Amino acid sequence: MPIRTAIIGLSSSGNGWASSAHLPYLLSPQGKERYTIVAVCNSSKEAAKAAIERYQLPSQTKAYGEPEALAEDVDIDLVVCCTRVDKHYNTILPSIRAGKAIYLEWPLAHDFQRSQELVDAARISGSKTLAGLQGRFAPALEQVRNQIAKGRIGRVLRTEIRASGASNRPDVLPARLKYFTDWGIVLDQMQHAIGDIIDIHGYFQVQRPEIRIVDPATQNVTETVKTDVPDLVILQGQLQQAPDATDTSTLFARFSPGAPFPGEPAMVWHVVGERGELRLTAEATTTLQAQGYDKPVSIEIFNLDTNEVQAVGWTWSDWQTALPIPARSVGRLYEAFASGDTEGIPSFEDALHRHMRLGDMLSSGSKWLS
């Protein structure tokens, strides 16, 4: 029997994350075998009805305007929340308390305290949880993890990431963009492949305290805002390569907004081992969990013994190629959940751990560069 699914935050405008990344899988032949959309909850019942009509969902799909009413519906198994992060807590908490399974985009909430409360509520109610860290299932990143696990480069000594490209200009951001979240996702993907951060020191700088916000549809500047979000992030630390392992590796990362220098890729990720080195190159953007495939994403391994560089291929599954690119990794997470295979599925606890480590980077142990 398909999993009865409700979506919170399915905008009828057609340009939201729910419609671009979640709905294509859920309405695909692959998705319909495992899930059926039975309800939509938006800011009002009328807005929910508009979304149901916009996406031609079945006429029996229920429309809700209040999260509490949705949570009381006994005919819902899974609640998917795709609202803005500052709306996550209030919109999803009733369904967690009702014990429903939850798919919540990352970060869980807009601060650590509310994220912790969501985790605690799920633990009490017994809710099965999925966090929107679906980049772990992107095939290129899975391939990196597999090559390291196979010992292709030997024991990992260090990893280095250099990433940019959140927007074309470092002083201009699209209205939807959350740069802090972007590099948090990159760090999650890196840790999933190599190991958890056990010691981290961050160096941050706000180089452009005023940012122009641009309407992505018209490219017109809608406002200029002051920001205290760092636009230069440098991280150094240690990674533990497996739970209880004694081996550690060194992390160095640099993140900045704005397009890279012409001709350079948006992200280059090196993993250096005793026997060789792996390099992942993403030409377009860092968002390998979503749209980052307009240009090639390549993996290469340099073997110290043979002094040769070998390309390592990766590919989408056949059913994924029928979906828009942003929906492909999301679809893999849905597939894993439906199969009951919890290996690698990011839970609320995983998401909270990542949130906590980001908080550590911004704490007293880090430095703000003047």
Among the residues of the chain, which ranges form H helices?
17, 23-26, 29-34, 45-54, 67-71, 85-97, 112-125, 139-149, 179-193, 318-321, 325-339, 348-361
Mean pLDDT along residues 308-324: 96
pLDDT at 364 over 60: no
pLDDT at 301 over 60: yes
d(CA 20, CA 264): 28
What's the whole-number average pLDDT of the chain? 88
Place 181 in a pLDDT band, splitting at 50, 70 and 90: low
Q: What is the pLDDT of residue 177?
A: 46
Q: What is the pLDDT of residue 142?
A: 95
pLDDT at 178 over 60: no
Higher pLDDT, 164 or 322: 322
- pTM, to two decimals: 0.88
- Model confidence over 39-73: pLDDT tens digits? 999 999 999 999 999 999 998 999 999 999 999 99
Place 291 in a pLDDT band, splitting at 50, 70 and 90: confident
pLDDT at 299 over 90: yes
What stretch(es) of the chain map to CATH 3.30.360.10?
137-324
What stretch(es) of the chain map to CATH 3.40.50.720?
3-132
d(CA 260, CA 253): 15
Place 232 in a pLDDT band, splitting at 50, 70 and 90: confident
d(CA 130, CA 143): 22
d(CA 198, CA 240): 6
- Model confidence over 240-251: pLDDT tens digits? 876 555 678 999
Higher pLDDT, 361 or 29: 29
pLDDT at 186 over 70: yes
Place 340 in a pLDDT band, splitting at 50, 70 and 90: confident
Mean pLDDT along residues 222-241: 80
Q: What is the pLDDT of residue 176?
A: 45
How many residues are present in the chain?
370
Q: 221 by DSSP, 3-state: which?
A: strand
Note whether 266 and 173 are within 8 A (CB).
Answer: no
- The percentage of the chain sitting over the pLDDT mark of 90, rounded to a whole number, equals 61
- Taking each helix axis as running N to C, give the angle between helix 179-193 and helix 348-361, from 0 to 180 degrees, rounded to the nearest 10: 110
Q: What is the pLDDT of residue 366?
A: 58
The CATH H-level (homologous superfamily) assignment of domain 137-324 is Dihydrodipicolinate Reductase; domain 2 (3.30.360.10)
Mean pLDDT along residues 269-275: 97
d(CA 103, CA 92): 9
The DSSP result for 44-105, as a single string, is: SHHHHHHHHHHTT--TT-EEES-HHHHHT-TT--EEEE-S-HHHHHHHHHHHHHTT-EEEEE
The CATH H-level (homologous superfamily) assignment of domain 3-132 is NAD(P)-binding Rossmann-like Domain (3.40.50.720)
Mean pLDDT along residues 358-370: 62
